[in-house]
Amino acid sequence: MKALEDKGRDGAEAHLHGHDEHDHDHAHGHDHHHHHEPDHDDEHGHSHEHPAGPVEYIRLGLLALVIIASLTGWWENFMSRDWLAFAATLIGGWPIYAEALENIRKRRMTMELSMTIALIGALCIGQFLTASVIAFFVLFAELLEGFTVGSGRRAIEKLINSLPRSVTVRRDGQERELSTSEVGSGETIIIRPGERIPADGVVSKGHSFVDQASITGESLPVEKVEGGKVFAGTINKDGVLEVKVEKIGRDTTFGKIIEIVEQAEKSKAPVQRIADRLAAGLVYFAFGAAVLTFIVTRNVTSTIAVIIVAGACGVAAGTPLAVLAGIGSAARRGIIIKGGLYLEQLRTIDTVVLDKTGTLTLGVPEVTSISTLNGATEDEVLQTAAIAEQHSEHPLGEAIVRRARQRNLPLREYANLRYSPGKGLTCEDNGNEILVGSRRCLKNAACLFPRNLSAS
């Protein structure tokens, strides 16, 4: 009678976790076969996480203001621009000096240490403006790093915080609002329409449709009746469900996904480990080249320039930032990447294999064709099905009604509606019985299918 097709979605959701259970028997029987923070302190000791607070922005603004004032001649009547640049470099560059001192204490050769030596050297030879410019760009780069790291981690935190913090629990015959952390295995929780399910469990009472795309990747809401399995992180769309809790928190399927993302943050791609070793060597190379430059030229300015140019920050910071930003950006789009190794391997992939149904989809089914029998017109078949489905909450039923309304077909009210979960529905219209359901449901009702519809 009808063919329904899910259309492609802009961008695939890649779920790098498997799930064997796919409840494809939807309403009305329509067969649908369709914590540890990541540590990026690398071997050379450069920290890639610099929280950007008001003080950091004030320091950066002060340096920018002093640089502009020095170049334009502002305030020369009030204060020497050299002294102004000297003070701004000391104040604005304090985070660099503090980290350099910490790394000296830990006996680590770092980019901050090389930059500190360059800044002190520039101040000692009177290159105050040069020193303030160096401090400005180093701080600006670190603020950009902090922003990139923060953006990736916010995506992870949003994923973690998407689970409800409280839930309605049935205890001793009474409903109580409790923190999710207080709920134990075996208890019964009540999930109302629109609520996110906080635990893995089995439906003990109720009937609804659940959007579980974030767990199983299925594009359409899945019908849940008594005995049906539900997952934490999925969304109850319609009816009220009572669920017997089986797993909570980190033990749930959703919790395992979170662990995958957190481990992905901590893991290092092969290219990142190479960058770490290269960066550590570049710091020593910078000092060696600077010493050689001074011996040959006796020019302090050239020596300082060599230290700055040969600094390892670009190599060291760029690689882990790119990996973390990629993982975070993917998480915002519902794509779970298990680590930097897999992100790096994407460049070698030229073929992607997708399962046959529901992976690339808008999640909105649409009637694409209508097959008729016994001389009935398409509009008659569509109108008959839409009359029965007009109050349906199932996405396939809604697709039928939507197409009927697009054709401006009148939908009369039916009588004596009978609904069988997972099978189909029947109703009466003008004394005629209408049956809408899956092929299995229709065959059970002794409906015959012509051979040309065998694949429909």
Residues near 285 by beta carbon (within 8 Å), at least 6 away in sequence = 310
Nearest partner of 168 among 192, 194, 202, 193, judged by Cα: 192
What whole-number distance in Å separates Cα of residue 241 and Cα of residue 207?
Answer: 6
Catalytic: which of 6, 41, 355, 429?
355
265/49 Cα distance (integer angstroms): 13
Q: Provide φ and ψ at 213, rounded to 5°.
A: -60, -35
For 260, what's the count of Cα atoms within 13 Å in the CB-facing half-sphere?
19
Q: Alpha-carbon distance 164 to 195, whole Å?
A: 8
For strands 199-206 and 208-211, give the pairing: unpaired
Beta bridge partners of 432: 429
d(CA 38, CA 29) in angstroms, rounded, equals 47
Q: Which residues pair with 433 in a beta bridge?
A: 428
Distance between CA atoms of residues 233 and 390, nearest Å: 30
CA neighbor of 112 nearest in space, from 102, 121, 122: 102
- How many CB atoms lie under 10 A from the CB of residue 13? 17
DSSP 3-state assignment of 202? strand
Q: Name the 3-class secondary structure at 167.
A: strand
- Tokens 């399962």 belong to which residue? 355
Which of 1, 8, 19 lies closest to 357 in space, CA to CA? 8
What's the full length of the chain, in residues?
456
Contact yes or no for 164/180 (Cβ under 8 A)? yes
* Token digits of residue 345: 């391997």
What are the CA-CA distances from residue 366 to residues 400, 411, 439, 456 (Å)? 8, 19, 18, 15
Which tokens hold the place of 317?
A: 């910071």
Element (H, E) at 58: helix 54-72
Q: Is 355 a catalytic residue?
A: yes
Could you tell me the end-to-end alpha-carbon distance of the chain, in angstroms, rounded to an integer?
A: 8
Cβ atoms of residues 34 and 390 within 8 Å: no
Q: What are phi and psi of 445, to 5 degrees?
A: -90, 15
> 């439906």: which residue's tokens?
203
Residues serving a catalytic function are: 355
